[in-house]
Chains A and B, each alone.
Chain A
């Protein structure tokens, strides 16, 4: 677990350093994810340890959003002023995004069925 955690931190650090030195708008951890992904392709997959450690970490991904989410208490007054516009916007936009993304993907998949199987 220790070495797996170290690997994750190293890739995050790499992502952070590259993103900042090249002035990319991508955050360090996301770039770190891409770099780790590339390294997995190069070395043909994660070892057993990295696999189990990340599984454990991702199983409770929800927990990691709780501290930031609790920050809503600081902004309650600001949200109160425009709550109707905010609520409707978030509600409609989130559902529209789910619907449009899924619909477009479904249509594209139907047009090109079983991409891997065609001769």
Chain B
């Protein structure tokens, strides 16, 4: 009996089916917990699903590469989903136009704060220069952040991890910051989440409110573009 199971495991572990299925299972379990908690931001579905998957892969001795061979089918959908953000953006376009000044001012202030505070605190606590440079684009969506890290002398794969952690921190913590500020406007809440914590923050914003989601998507796109333009110049000052 046991060798039979081992045989089946060897087959499954090498096929993309397993990686894909456990990703969907872990996420659905995580989303169920998130809903049961009354959409509590602390029960962030990305955080729970990633923790469960890392445990599962470590315990079964499965490599990330093997896992990703299956999970890449989910990962691929990030592209079309990013394109699809144009639709809520269009729906909220009137509100965006009416808020042009706050949007532009918030974008510049937030973008600079994200880069400078991350690098400054990293440096203060003794992070090496490549680590500081990997921290700099951490508020930008993964593909842009990795490209920037590469160009300014950071470590792209480290940046990818820092981006994900930043996204989860923003998605988990934003509500408490805004409530402490007594900030109600869903547009401003959404935009700030998008600047600070890109797509993961945007995903959380969409779960709360459609207008917040649209503004978060807008902020994510704009902050990605602005950081890509500004950071190479700023970074030459850090070397």
Closest to B26 in A: A66
Main secondary structure of the interface of B (DSSP, over half): helix
For A112, give the chain B residue with the smallest CB separation. B101
The smallest C-beta distance from A72 to any residue of chain B, in angstroms, reads 5
Kindly identify which residue among B81, B82, B181, B191 contacts A103, using a CB–CB cutoff of 8 Å.
B181
Contacts of B83 in A (CB 8 A): 8, 11-12, 15, 29, 32-33, 36
Q: Which residue of B lies closest to A6 (CB)?
A: B80
Please tell me the number of chain B residues within 8 Å of chain A, measured between CB atoms: 113
Distance from B204 Cβ to chain A, minimum over Cβ atoms (Å): 7
For A34, the chain B residues whose CB sits under 8 A away are: 86, 221
The listed residue (A30, A51, A59, A65) touching B221 by CB distance below 8 A is A30
Q: A63-B27, A65-B164 are in contact. Are A97 and B195 (CB under 8 A)?
A: yes
Which of B113, B131, B183 is within 8 Å of A97, CB to CB?
Answer: B113
How many chain A residues sit at the interface, stated as a range, is 35 or more
Q: Answer whether residue B203 sits at the interface, using C-beta atoms and an 8 A cutoff.
A: yes
| Interface mask (B143-179 → A, CB under 8 Å = 1, otherwise 0) | 1100110010001011011101111111001100110
Contact, CB under 8 Å: B191 / A101:
yes
Measuring CB to CB, which residues of chain B are less than 8 angstroms from any residue of chain A?
23-24, 26-27, 31, 44-46, 49-50, 53-54, 57-58, 64, 67-68, 71-72, 74-75, 77-90, 93, 98-103, 105-107, 109-110, 113-114, 117-119, 121-122, 124-128, 131, 135, 138-139, 141-144, 147-148, 151, 155, 157-158, 160-162, 164-170, 173-174, 177-178, 181, 183, 185, 188-189, 191-193, 195-197, 199-200, 202-204, 206-207, 213, 217, 219, 221, 224-225, 228-229
Q: 7 nearest interchain CB pairs? A: A101-B110, A54-B84, A67-B71, A29-B82, A85-B125, A61-B203, A36-B86
